[in-house]
A and B are shown apart, each in its own frame.
Chain A
Amino acid sequence: MTQLSPVLSIRGLRKSFTLHTIDGRTVSSLRGVDLDVHAGEHVALAGASGAGKSSLLRCVHRSYLPDSGSVRLRVDARPDGAGVELTGLADRAMARLRGREFGYVTQFLAAPPRTGPLEVVAGAARRRGLDRAAALDAAAEALRRLNLEEALWDVDCSLLSGGERQRVNLAAGTVSPPRLLLLDEPFSALDPANREAAVDLVASLAGRAVAVLAVFHDLDAMRRLASRVVLLRDGRIAREGTPDQMAEGLR
């Protein structure tokens, strides 16, 4: 389909945890994953719980430190850009790269305490390079698009409902779109009407060349958004294909 090198390129990724506080036992999570995600492509991870879907997202985000393997991110617009190896990147460089290139939306909102939605979303836009005024405009537009009541924009995020928080999170992840968007059950707490707006928003990102790697709990969203579905089993890729091809196995 394309000659462009992928935005995200994962090779031989392994991750295990050594639990020193219990008895030093090791729990394996990813056992060698190879995966590419291209600009504008929307890859959905599927699989039973414990298959390693969230671990994979976290390894890409460097919330988890992979044991071995490679995660490369193409950070410039040149199609043949070699990209940056994230697994060995210095902490400081990774922190900067995250702010500029990544969007990461989980079920939980990682907002600093006592900050309001507008500040959270504008902060994300600032880290992606917008100036203060532009960041505030973009944040307001993103929140409006997700139907978050304006009266809540300066209310401490911890006071918001689960669905409201999730919309703040989505707005922060997608505002001034990042190069790579990681979604971990981003619609789980949304009611049907809000879910519709959120799915539309994410769908619109494909046109803006955002590479999306996502875990969905609802198949309907997956069918509508995913250009490719990757099935994980026991920390490995078991199968992949178009949503239609995969629909059989997922039911």
Chain B
Amino acid sequence: MTSTTALLDELDTCTGPIGLLDEGAKREIRRAALTAVCVPGYQVPFGSREMPVARGWGSGGLQITLAVIGAADTVKVIDQGDDAGVNATNLRRMIASSTGCAESADTRDATVVQTRHRVPEEAMTAEHVLVYQVPVPEPLRGVQKSVAECARMHAEADYSAMWVSLYEDLVRNGMITRTTGYPVLVAGRYVMATTPIPRWDVPRLRMSEQLNLFGAGREKRIYAVPPHTEVTPLAFDDVPFEVEHAPGARCRLCGSDDVFLVEAGTRGGYLCSDTEWCARVRAGDADVDAHRERAPLDLLPDPARRAGVPPAVTTPRPRRVRPPRAAAAPEWALRVDGLGKVFGPLAGGDPGVTVAGTGPEHATAISPATGAIVAAWDVSFDVAPGEALGVIGESGSGKSTVLACIIGNELATAGEVRLAEVDGGRTEVLALAASARRLLRVDTMAVVHQNPAVGLDLRVSAGGNIAERLTAAGWRGYHDIRRRAAELLDRVEIPLTRMDDAVRTFSGGMRQRVQIAKALATDPPVVLLDEPTTGLDASVAAGVLDLLRGVLAERSVAAVVVSHDFGVIEALTDRTLVMQLGRVVEHGLTDQLFHDPHHPYTQRLVAAARR
């Protein structure tokens, strides 16, 4: 008579190991992991498979483990630091039974450790592959919703939004409150999310002995920190990175105080997060001294160095040293030659055919040849330091298109743009790559948009918006950024009590002032203003206008002011271009255009402006 147990045993022997991934799938995952190792911190896409666990329950980590593990390996699985939890146990058994590898709860025996939440307290060696189950692989997810924009930010190493989120955390809480997923810079290039581990474990990634592989099944991403790779937590120079710590806390069971501790339920006190370590300390089977060496005790919170306490000594501001203007340097700061923009088809690629028959003398901007809209054509001007140039015209005359082409929001169809700051004006800016042009907007050419929501992040504080521009320009001192932001906000008459309020709580006029402060943050030599007071109440507009007049007069910037309002142009500029139907129809000294307009269109504008 066969017992039930014997029957089950017989069943086990005849089924044999069940493979969860075929060899092709494993190869693909290994290939993605290899790419990830080659480009540390970069998220490599891979064809995530269905796993017998739900996505979000470790399917990414499981796929990596199954792809890299072999029968000679020993697997350990940690869930929240615990080897014995239901999830950990089931995953471990599934891996072992489907690959034929050994299983162990002892890190010293394991070769592949799959983890959720922790790096083991035990020393990791070159023998170990540490596989992380990643819930949120994209470090920028919290600050940028668009996947395409996140990809661009990684590609251009444009991480100022990340710095702003750290700045905002410090402003709101006086300290870093982010627990898991603290952003790190890997090998000096990519910012990476350290989900799922706590800050306590982040230093263990730096120059590690083990290979770290991160898998996100739902987002279909694999990334890696290879052994001996530099990993730096993002932190301001004067507010150091710190790990989680409760003063005086110790494990209630083993008494350790140099481990990552978790609160021990309703009975109070703390327990080791890593149950394996706790048990071994109690059993006397742990090298406690070597562990203390590894523990991030140098990064325990130090209230004296937190954000609320400005340091006595300030770090030097990373102001870019502008080369002195050479004798041969151009007189202008910005020069535009023959700029043109056509929306729509170009006949045979020749703009000349398309543009023929448009402009003021034909009373249309629509090409008779192709039906394309000639928004701007043959626009040329230059602006010198300390000078403001006006561009006036009705809506649709092409003024804003010209600005959009200069700053790179639109691709110009024809023409050249030069900046004295860029290579002494020898480089044609329109020919530069989009990334290089975006960099110009950080500290060479600032824009003040009609709508503050375009130039500002309304969810971020006034100071944070300025911090965005400063961190993009390389500022890394928290207190320096605070001081500079306060100085700028004071200049634009925003009460400093509002510095840390989200811009969305500001009135239209105040938002515009913040936008102006941000534009001036890096002392750019060129400032472009697109209808800076349009849409504001008369009294508010007057205040903004006075502010602009003041700041333009006291700085030696070259300004271009685009407006349909002669009052604005008159208040801010010395010289003006008049645009109609995409062409410059007249230019002159601003008061001359007002007193002695020659072109019929200018005469109409002036007549309309006299009230």
Contact = CB atoms under 8 A, between A and B. Distances in A.
Contacts of A58: 595-596
A58 B600 CA distance: 21
B53 interface: no
A221 interface: no
Given A65-B588, A114-B542, A17 B596 contact: yes
A92 B599 CA distance: 20
Given A92-B384, A112-B549, A65 B592 contact: yes
A129 to B, nearest CB: 14
Contacts of A112: 549, 571
B604 interface: yes
A35 B591 CA distance: 24
A58 B599 CA distance: 19
A21 B600 contact: yes
Given A113-B571, A114-B542, A20 B587 contact: no
A91 interface: yes
B116 to A, nearest CB: 63
A190 interface: no
Contacts of B546: 113-114
Given A21-B607, A92-B384, A94-B589, A63 B595 contact: yes
A92 B546 CA distance: 23
B575 A65 contact: no
A106 to B, nearest CB: 11
A4 interface: no
A19 interface: yes
B609 to A, nearest CB: 13
Interface residues of A, number: 18
B596 to A, nearest CB: 4
A18 B602 CA distance: 12
A65 B597 CA distance: 9
A222 B504 CA distance: 62
A58 B594 CA distance: 12
B542 A113 contact: yes
B35 interface: no
A62 interface: yes
A157 to B, nearest CB: 13
A92 B603 contact: no
Interface string B563-595: 000000001001100000000000111011001
Contacts of B599: 20
Interface in A76-109: 91-92, 94-95
B387 interface: yes
B587 A91 contact: yes
B571 A95 contact: no
B598 interface: yes
Contact of A64 (B549, B574, B587, B595): B595
Contacts of B604: 20-21
A63 B598 contact: no
B592 A19 contact: no
Majority secondary structure of chain A interface residues (helix, strand, loop or mixed): loop
Interface string A113-127: 110000000000000
A62 B545 CA distance: 26
Nearest to A63: B595
Nearest to B607: A21
B491 to A, nearest CB: 17
Interface in B121-152: none
Contact of B592 (A17, A20, A63): A63
Contacts of A64: 592, 595-596
B387 A92 contact: yes
A91 B575 contact: yes
A91 B589 CA distance: 6
Contacts of A92: 384, 387, 574-575
Contacts of B598: 18, 65
Contacts of B596: 17, 58, 63-65
Contacts of A63: 589, 591-592, 595-596
Contacts of B574: 91-92, 95
B360 to A, nearest CB: 12
Interface string B471-483: 0000000000000
A64 B592 CA distance: 6
Given A62-B592, A114-B542, A114-B546, A20 B603 contact: yes
A149 B277 CA distance: 85
A16 to B, nearest CB: 11
Contact of A19 (B387, B571, B591, B603): B603
Interface in B359-388: 384, 387
A21 B589 contact: no
Nearest to A64: B596
Contacts of A95: 387, 574-575, 589
A6 to B, nearest CB: 24
Contacts of A91: 574-575, 587-589
Contacts of A18: 598
A65 B598 CA distance: 9
A244 B607 CA distance: 43
Nearest to B594: A63
A59 to B, nearest CB: 9
Nearest to B604: A21
Contacts of B587: 91
A176 B571 CA distance: 24
Nearest to A66: B596
Contacts of A114: 542, 546
B394 to A, nearest CB: 15
A19 B607 CA distance: 11
Contacts of B592: 62-65
B99 to A, nearest CB: 77
A110 B574 CA distance: 13
B190 to A, nearest CB: 47
Nearest to B588: A91
B328 to A, nearest CB: 19
Nearest to A17: B596
A20 B600 contact: yes
A133 B591 CA distance: 29
A62 B571 contact: no
A95 B388 CA distance: 11
Contact of B603 (A21, A65, A113): A21
Contacts of A94: 589
A65 B574 CA distance: 15
Most buried by A among B545, B587, B591: B591
Task: State the 3 A-B residue pairs at the shortest beta-carbon distance, nearest first.
Answer: A20-B600, A95-B574, A64-B596
Given A63-B589, A92-B575, 11 more contacts: A17-B596, A19-B603, A20-B599, A58-B595, A58-B596, A63-B595, A63-B596, A64-B596, A91-B587, A95-B387, A95-B575
7 contacts: A17-B596, A18-B598, A62-B589, A64-B595, A65-B596, A112-B549, A114-B546
